[in-house]
Structure 1
Amino acid sequence: MLKPTFLTQFLYGICLCLVTMTQRAHAQVVIGTPNLGFTQACASESFNTFNTTFIFSPESALNASNEFTIEMSDADGDFSDPTIIHTTAAGSVTTSPATIAFSIPETTAGENYRIRIKSSAPVATSSRSVPFAAYYKIQDSPFTINNLVSTGAYCAGGSYLLSIDNPGNGNNDSPLLYPSLTFKWYKETGPTTFVFVADGPTLSVNTEGTYFVRTNYGTCTSDSFSNRVTISEAVSGEANAAIVSSLGNPYCPEQGLTTLSTIGGLSYQWYKDGNIIVDATSQMYQTNESGMFSVQVDLGDCSASGSIDLVSELFDSTINVPEFNEMSSEESLLVTVTTTAINPEFTWYLNGSIIIGATEASFEATEFGDYEVSIMQTTGCMTSVEYLFSIEEALDLFPEVEHIPNLISPNGDSINDTWIIPTTYVSGTDTEVIIMSNQGKVVLQTKDYLNNWPENDLKLTSINQVYYYIITTSDNKTKKGSITVVK
């Protein structure tokens, strides 16, 4: 074998360097500036998908394990502490140009975000994208301020504080429940125009006008805004204190208590139908009644007052029978309810069970027992009223008996409790009935006997008591005898 010369060694070295340089060139990739598929990233719970497209070269430089990562800057475009918002699966992106979808974090809020693309094998980083506005609208529905009261007033030289309600009235989704949110207040300058006033969850107003507040989502459009409130200065020391009902007016009491709210002040006193409501001294008052409610508000150096004619949608109704009723087994009882309910539905019950087919306002009862009728209003306020009544078998006060009894036992068992005599001697026969004690004291004397003695407690002891009777008919025929009363 020939010994290598210096020249051959030099040529071998040059070839080795060329191979190494070629391999290094193939291991590098260049990533272009990402192009945005949007002008603003306005995300919400229902939408949070955005696209970016970028080129890279050469495609052959990518390792099979390569991952592309999308990084997002802070709100000022700074990448010193970037947020990774998407990473592709290893080897899933191999051709250029490439389009990748991503979502923004819920804490995103600003006008100058940027993104960039990074590869992992080989390692490379693109330039920054153009700046863009990005907001995640964590709360994107209307909310209330001033307890939904549309007015407010301040004394001369004073101010009125407007606040975002938390939690507010009804289904109000207060943005104060989301600590990351900020707010901007505006004053109307025309029917469709307004100017920015201040930032923050509250606004102190000392200039008359109409105000509202929006959640700060920058240039992104949003439904997160409040109701309008008109603020005025009290004239001659007196202002109007508007009152609103949380359940509306008229309101449905089936939904619970309605909350009456008025303008803000230092102290309050509520009235109903002109009468003071004891301890009703807060800005809000809850009720389930109808009536003329009013309020006096102390604003400091002046005052305000207001009223509302509150109407409940609870309907009126009546029933034509008392709670307790009696009838004989051969009789029936026609029960009728009347009502002002809209499209009412009637349900009748006997002893807790629904009476099949009884769906009208009237029902003819033929059985003894405990009854209930329910009236349901099916249009508007879905409310109901129930009536309870019972039917018992009537006692026959004048049954046919053959003989005058000489023994009774008034112990409340409905058997032989009173002295029942033949019908020829009772009420309507002009017969005089006298009952005397064993000492000769008259305890009953009547020509209208109703088979109802004794009506009062005789204070019986363990010893049976004996009474005497004298029955004198209209033709002066007389019957006499004794009555033994046993305990």
Structure 2
Amino acid sequence: MKNFTFIGFIVSLVCVVNMAYTQTISTPSLGFTQACASPSFNTYYTTFSFSADIAANGTNQFTIELSDASGSFANGKVIHTTNPGQYNTSPATVQFSLPTDTAGESYKIRIKSSAPSATSVGSTSFPAYYKIQDSPFTINNLIGTAAFCAGGSYLLTIDNPGTGDNDSPLQYPSLTFNWYRETSSTTSTLVGTGETFTVTTTGTYYCETNYGSCTSDSYSNRVKISEASSGTSSEINSSLGNPYCSVEGATTLSTINADAYQWFKDGKKIDGATSQTYVTDVSGTYSVSIDLGQCSTTATINLETSGFTSSIDVTETNSVQEGESLTATVTTSANSPLFQWYLNDVLIASATGSSYAASETGDYKVVVTQTSGCAASEEFLFSLIVTEPFPDVSNIPNIVSPNGDGINDTWTIPVEYTSGTNTEVIIMSAQGKVVHQTNNYLNNWPESQIDFNEINPVYYYIITTAGNAVKKGSITVVK
């Protein structure tokens, strides 16, 4: 009996010794709780311990194996292999990267050694996604509104390949998608999955690439979907907003997706405007009739520009006598306006206000620029003639001799009736035809040659002052 006891003791001791020298690898620890990889970041680390016999083998290689998305290693894949003998001191920290098709919430990794052969247990599970596409994309051709007839539905789709710089996620076959309906300004609920979604309930919808627990920048524009019936109204969107900044060019008006359209401006049909969009740079009231197949609807927008209005208080042509000046003033509704005055296309650096006293002969220009909000500009042109002072005659002459001798060549009247006094001067032929009419008389009639027959022609004048005092008489033209 003692012999049997001794033999049993020896067997137990051998088993204990063998267990002490059995190759082992600890459960790998992770330096992260979730792995959200992308083309710009895909570096992760795991740390594990291993037994001395593994460390002593100079040919040993460690491999990191990634499970499937459910945590099973039945179809696991090797994602990293170390060099022979690279790690011979325990513990070891090894770097690895995720495959581009990684997408799931319950991945695990485990460690294997080659010489001697050993396998660790799986790590704690973790969410892991490779965000192969992580930028905004478009749905519904970027049209912000849509409608379906009562009892019907509307199909939302991801644009492929999208428009402009749109990086459509449909270009990446491994990706999956979630569709959401907004429940408030900050919350939403998951309503479907897949590349398309059929809407049967009104609301605002959008799509996101499914990256699970990882934050995603791969999301779509919002689409507001309503239910339409004959007699109801829909919406028109302006690509540049409303009011829109006219200096940015034309704006694109768009409405819901439908079978047919007809656009109107201020109630009048626009010939040829039968598309989902209409491009315009003119303000006004635009409407569109929309055929949805089983029903119809309409939409209206009062399109306004965010520009401004301005005016100037001088005429295109102005005259002053030598030594005098003409003050031009601009009135504008522009926000924080900038005024730039020019003489003969040369900037007058000192002129920065809304008024300028012009005293030189030439062509003037003032440019008004709105510097806050829509950066629009408007310009006004006017010219100035500086003349010699009018002669101070005391009476209204009744004879003029336009023969070029410098004496009585023009009808020269007292200065109280000339330019700057707001006096109306009318000159008529003997037949009653008006040949000259002005509120800015410059002592310059006749301005063209008068044909003489056998008699000297006679003309008649009417002078009406700003105070409505009237002077009448005749003018005989002699050679």
TM-score, normalising length: structure 1: 0.66
Query: Is 1:295 matched with 2:279?
Result: no
| Mapping for residues 283-322 of structure 1, pairs under 5 Å | 283-322=276-315
2:381 & 2:455 partners in 1: Cα distance? Answer: 44
1:424 maps to a residue whose letter is N
1:244 maps to a residue whose letter is N
2:410 maps to a residue whose letter is V
2:404 aligned to 420, 438, 444, which one?
Answer: 420
1:337 aligned to 330, 341, 352, which one?
Answer: 330
Whether the 8 Å CA contact 1:326–1:393 is kept in 2: the answer is yes
Q: CA RMSD in A?
A: 4.7
1:454 aligned to 449, 452, 458, which one?
Answer: 449
Whether the 8 Å CA contact 1:345–1:376 is kept in 2: the answer is yes
Show the counterpart of 1:408: none
2:255 aligned to 262, 272, 275, which one?
Answer: 262
| Mapping for residues 13-412 of structure 1, pairs under 5 Å | 31-44=25-38, 48-58=42-52, 61=56, 63=58, 70=64, 72=66, 82=77, 84=79, 95-104=89-98, 107-117=101-111, 126-127=119-120, 129-140=123-134, 145-146=139-140, 151-164=145-158, 175-176=168-169, 178-180=171-173, 181-187=175-181, 192=187, 194-200=189-195, 202-208=196-202, 210-226=204-220, 228-235=222-229, 237-325=230-318, 330-391=323-384
| Identity over aligned pairs, percent | 50
Whether the 8 Å CA contact 2:203–2:226 is kept in 1: the answer is yes
Once the two structures are TM-superposed, the CA of residue 209 in structure 1 deviates from its matched residue by 5.1
Once the two structures are TM-superposed, the CA of residue 149 in structure 1 deviates from its matched residue by 5.7
Deviations 1:391-436 (A, max 9, x none): 45669999xxxxxxxxxxxxxxxxxxx9534343531479xxxxxx
1:367 maps to a residue whose letter is E
SS of the residue corresponding to residue 408 of structure 2 reads helix
Show the counterpart of 1:413: none
Inter-CA distance 162–453: structure 2 relative to 1 (3 Å threshold):
same
Deviations 1:282-331 (A, max 9, x none): 11222223222211110112101111222210111122334455556644
Inter-CA distance 306–469: structure 2 relative to 1 (3 Å threshold):
same
Once the two structures are TM-superposed, the CA of residue 343 in structure 1 deviates from its matched residue by 1.0
Show the counterpart of 1:15: none
1:287 & 1:336 partners in 2: Cα distance? Answer: 33
SS of the residue corresponding to residue 56 of structure 1 reads coil
Whether the 8 Å CA contact 1:55–1:96 is kept in 2: the answer is yes
Whether the 8 Å CA contact 2:361–2:386 is kept in 1: the answer is yes
1:328 & 1:94 partners in 2: Cα distance? Answer: 104
Once the two structures are TM-superposed, the CA of residue 46 in structure 1 deviates from its matched residue by 7.1
SS of the residue corresponding to residue 306 of structure 1 reads strand
2:340 maps to a residue whose letter is T
Whether the 8 Å CA contact 1:240–1:304 is kept in 2: the answer is yes
1:153 & 1:75 partners in 2: Cα distance? Answer: 39
Relative to structure 2, which stretch is displaced further, 74-83 or 226-235? 74-83
Inter-CA distance 47–334: structure 2 relative to 1 (3 Å threshold):
farther
2:389 & 2:457 partners in 1: Cα distance? Answer: 22
1:345 maps to a residue whose letter is L
2:352 maps to a residue whose letter is T
Uncovered stretches (5+) of structure 1, i.e. residues with no partner? 1-25, 399-417, 431-444, 459-465, 473-477, 482-487
Whether the 8 Å CA contact 2:55–2:87 is kept in 1: the answer is no
1:101 & 1:283 partners in 2: Cα distance? Answer: 54
2:88 & 2:315 partners in 1: Cα distance? Answer: 88
Whether the 8 Å CA contact 1:175–1:215 is kept in 2: the answer is no
Once the two structures are TM-superposed, the CA of residue 265 in structure 1 deviates from its matched residue by 0.7
Once the two structures are TM-superposed, the CA of residue 80 in structure 1 deviates from its matched residue by 6.7
Whether the 8 Å CA contact 1:188–1:195 is kept in 2: the answer is no
Uncovered stretches (5+) of structure 2, i.e. residues with no partner? 1-20, 392-401, 415-434, 437-442, 459-475
Whether the 8 Å CA contact 1:234–1:302 is kept in 2: the answer is yes
Deviations 1:98-148 (A, max 9, x none): 33455545554334544455679x697754545432223355566554466
SS of the residue corresponding to residue 240 of structure 1 reads coil
2:78 & 2:446 partners in 1: Cα distance? Answer: 99
TM-score, normalising length: structure 2: 0.66
Relative to structure 2, which stretch is displaced further, 244-253 or 75-84? 75-84
